[in-house]
């Protein structure tokens, strides 16, 4: 059955049977499971990657279904964490793939442990800060990662191999100013752009997993699906003398202090990090909160709706408060209702 499943992929001469065995033994971390990560995880599972560790902090919403491959209406109705819903679907797509869903945020405190034991990282993040943290971690650990981005009708991807290609800080020393670039919440995103960006990423990932080296020239592929235009941009060489990260080994974003609350881009929502080391008792909290508003809970999360706010509490103690972009107010609501 295994040979038949991957027969067309093995007929592609740069992969062949030997390359398929390398793919089968590979362990890949999918960091974020939205438009990029869900398509990417699906393609990697279908290609036969041995292990997928899927990390996402969020839950499935109805607005995700337009561009996020692995989810359906029942997941949004649950609601189900994206990592859990993705893992369920992947197991149905390819039972040979080992899947590790992780419902967690990517931050300086968690990212290094998430890299343990993986051969490559697929970037499915939706913010620049997370990518700079990921770049620091991958350079420190020597893990290759595939950058991807999509907004509007554009899609882009590039492979970062520490020590061989330019890293993110070789190309952009500092985080862009807030509002400096377009976001999908401001200009939208068509589903094919997310699918194409992920396809480019996975093609680069498969080539690396088979060849275990960077291509001779580092390139950024950038496509606009509305204008039917694709560009192959040759990137400058790695800055082996002055890059703060891959040359000077300064990991500024890994060493940044943790913020207790973070506004989520374009969503009028704030994520409040867990302040207690103990996981919440979701069932007990659900009973206690029923007098405050509408409460729904399952084994993964608890949701409390007290108009105009909606609070979602996860097993790791994080909460997402919708209905405000004010971080202080969100922290206050979590403290008032959850008691931390």
- Per residue in 80-123, pLDDT (tens digit) is 999 999 999 999 999 999 999 999 888 898 999 999 999 999 99
pLDDT given at position 260: 72
Percent of the chain with pLDDT over 70: 95
Query: Of these residues, 184, 222, 243, 246, which one is catalytic?
Result: 184
- Whether 184 sits among the annotated catalytic residues: the reply is yes
Q: Which domains does the chain have, with CATH numbers?
A: 2-234 (3.40.50.720), 261-338 (3.30.310.10)
| d(C-alpha 48, C-alpha 3), whole Å | 11
Q: Which SS3 state, helix, strand or coil, does residue 294 take?
A: strand
The total number of residues shown for the chain amounts to 340
| d(C-alpha 250, C-alpha 141), whole Å | 13
> Cβ–Cβ contacts within 10 Å for residue 92, how many?
10
What phi and psi values does residue 250 have, to the nearest 5 degrees?
-105, 120
Q: The tokens of 144 are what?
A: 């290759």
| d(C-alpha 273, C-alpha 224), whole Å | 37
Q: Which helix (H) or strand (E) holds 103?
A: strand 98-103
Asked if 99 and 90 touch (Cβ cutoff 8 Å), the reply is: yes
What pLDDT digit, counting tens, does each position of 155-198 carry? 999 999 999 999 999 999 988 765 556 777 678 899 999 999 99
Asked if 137 and 118 touch (Cβ cutoff 8 Å), the reply is: no
pLDDT given at position 155: 97
Q: The tokens of 102 are what?
A: 């992780």
pLDDT given at position 71: 97
Asked if 194 and 169 touch (Cβ cutoff 8 Å), the reply is: no
Residues in CB range of 248: below 8 A, 6 or more apart: 242
Q: Which SS3 state, helix, strand or coil, does residue 260 take?
A: coil
Average pLDDT, the chain: 92
Asked if 285 and 295 touch (Cβ cutoff 8 Å), the reply is: no
Asked if 192 and 228 touch (Cβ cutoff 8 Å), the reply is: no
Percent of the chain with pLDDT over 90: 72
| Model-wide pTM > 0.85 | yes
CA 279, distance to chain mean position in Å, is: 23
In this prediction, residues 25-51 reach a mean pLDDT of 97
> Would strands 27-31 and 51-56 be described as parallel, antiparallel, or unpaired?
parallel
Asked if 274 and 281 touch (Cβ cutoff 8 Å), the reply is: no
- C-alpha distances in angstroms, 49 versus 52, 67, 85, 91, 209? 7, 23, 19, 12, 9
- The residue among 59 and 256 whose pLDDT is bigger is 59
Listed range (18-32, 90-104, 236-250, 308-322) with the worst mean pLDDT: 308-322
| d(C-alpha 63, C-alpha 11), whole Å | 38
pLDDT given at position 1: 45
- C-alpha distances in angstroms, 277 versus 15, 164, 190, 335, 340? 46, 39, 40, 15, 11
* pLDDT band, residue 325 (cuts 50/70/90): confident
Residue 194: name the closest of 30, 34, 32 by CA. 34
């Amino acid at each position: 059955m295994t040979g038949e499943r991957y027969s067309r992929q093995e007929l592609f001469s740069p992969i062949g049977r030997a390359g398929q065995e390398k793919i089968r033994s590979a362990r890949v971390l999918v960091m974020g499971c939205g438009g990029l990560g869900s398509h990417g995880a699906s393609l990697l599972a279908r290609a036969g990657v041995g292990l997928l560790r899927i990390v996402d902090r969020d839950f499935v919403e109805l607005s995700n279904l337009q561009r996020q491959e692995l989810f359906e209406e029942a997941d949004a109705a649950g609601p189900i964490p994206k990592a859990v819903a993705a893992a369920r679907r992947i197991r149905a797509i390819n039972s040979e793939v080992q899947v590790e869903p992780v419902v967690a945020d990517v931050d300086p405190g968690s990212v290094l442990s998430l890299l343990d034991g993986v051969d490559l990282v697929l970037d499915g993040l939706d913010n620049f800060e997370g990518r700079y943290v990921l770049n620091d971690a991958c350079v420190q650990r020597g893990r290759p990662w595939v950058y991807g981005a999509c907004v509007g009708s554009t899609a882009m991807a590039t492979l970062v191999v520490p020590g061989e290609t330019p890293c993110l800080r070789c190309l952009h020393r500092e985080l862009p100013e807030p509002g400096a670039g377009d976001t999908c919440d401001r200009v939208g995103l068509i589903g094919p752009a997310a699918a194409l960006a992920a396809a480019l990423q996975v093609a680069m990932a498969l080539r690396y997993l088979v060849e275990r080296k960077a291509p001779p020239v580092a390139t950024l592929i950038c496509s606009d699906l509305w204008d039917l235009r694709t560009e192959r941009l040759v990137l400058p060489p790695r800055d082996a003398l002055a890059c703060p990260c891959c040359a000077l080994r300064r990991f500024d974003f890994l060493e940044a202090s943790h913020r207790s609350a973070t506004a989520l881009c374009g969503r009028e929502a704030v994520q409040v990090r867990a302040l207690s080391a103990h996981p919440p008792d979701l069932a007990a909290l659900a009973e206690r909160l029923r007098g405050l508003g509408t409460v729904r809970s399952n084994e993964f999360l608890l949701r409390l709706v007290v108009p105009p706010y909606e609070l979602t509490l996860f097993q790791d103690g994080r909460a997402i408060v919708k209905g405000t972009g004010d971080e202080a107010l969100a922290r206050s609501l979590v403290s008032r209702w959850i008691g931390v």
